[in-house]
Structure 1
Amino acid sequence: MLSLQNIHHVAIICSNYERSKHFYTQLLGLRVVAEVYRAERDSYKLDLAINDHYQIELFSFPNPPARVSRPEAAGLRHLAFSVADVSQAHGYLTEKGVECEAIRVDEFTHKRFFFIADPDDLPIEFYEN
């Protein structure tokens, strides 16, 4: 049996590197660990951290195909961030001009959550601790 310890990272391919870099670093507040331009691929790789834990790799590639998301397609459904205060996160993002879905309550855990979309329409969830 495997002895998995945790999730090391999530990789995201974006269609507009500067727009997505701004979204993840300036709006969501992720810290840049490393940024590399790979000339042979005409691609950026941006390593991002949450609370000093390396978590997200943001890639750019020339002309990536669009992500099918609605109706829900097979594959990764969404990226979820844990937050201490869902209402505060919702208010902050709304103030910054991000369209937020209404806050809902998980019927099983009774925790509050809501969704937004990143610049490439990747669903992002904010889930109460």
Structure 2
Amino acid sequence: MHLTGLHHVAIIAADYARSRDFYHRILGLPILAEHWRAERQSWKLDLAIPGGGQLELFSFPSPPPRPTRPEACGLRHLAFACADVAACRQNLLAEGVAAEDIRVDEYTGARFFFCADPDGLPLEFYQPRD
């Protein structure tokens, strides 16, 4: 087996329009495709992630809540690489998105911070060291 990369991450949104606005307008991810799937009463939105990956955003009627306890088993967070974490953080704050303070990774020296998407999913913005 030879894996060549990460193709996509899929997220189910409680409020499709709000999450679509967050990922497309606020984070600036370009729309690749958007489809209404009538048989599932569900939207499917494909967004491009710089570097070649994709984010799939779904809506489903009455999705069950996900456990929110700290360190719950499962996907911990989604991390986006960025060139300037301070600028990314300021842009999010200007849009009314609460963002944690910038921290420095004790092992790599890279700068990063966390915020949450409209459904409370943790997102990390990570600036790799040059």
Q: If the length of structure 1 is used for normalisation, what is the TM-score?
A: 0.95
Unaligned runs of 5+ residues in structure 2 are: none
**Range with bigger deviation, 65-74 or 108-117:** 65-74
Compared with structure 1, are the counterparts of its residues 114 and 52 closer, same or farther at alpha carbon in structure 2 (3 Å cutoff)?
closer
Q: What amino acid is aligned across from residue 88 of structure 2 in structure 1?
A: A
Deviation track 1:12-52 (CA, whole Å, cap 9, x = no partner) reads 00101000000000100000000000001000000000237
Q: Conserved in 2, the CA contact under 8 Å of 1:46 and 1:59?
A: yes
**Range with bigger deviation, 53-62 or 109-118:** 53-62
Match of 2:75 in 1: 76
Match of 2:106 in 1: 107
What is the alpha-carbon distance in structure 1 between the residues aligned to residue 81 and residue 119 of structure 2? 21
Deviation track 1:32-77 (CA, whole Å, cap 9, x = no partner) reads 0000000010000000002373411000000001121222210000
What is the alpha-carbon distance in structure 2 between the residues aligned to residue 55 and residue 69 of structure 1? 25
1:84-123 matched pairs, under 5 angstroms: 84-123=83-122
1:87 is paired with a residue whose SS is helix
Q: What amino acid is aligned across from residue 79 of structure 1 in structure 2?
A: L
**Range with bigger deviation, 62-71 or 28-37:** 62-71
Q: How many residues are matched? A: 128
Compared with structure 1, are the counterparts of its residues 92 and 8 closer, same or farther at alpha carbon in structure 2 (3 Å cutoff)?
same
Q: Report the identity percentage.
A: 59
What is the alpha-carbon distance in structure 1 between the residues aligned to residue 73 and residue 50 of structure 2? 30
The root-mean-square deviation of aligned C-alpha atoms, in Å, is 1.1
Q: If the length of structure 2 is used for normalisation, what is the TM-score?
A: 0.95
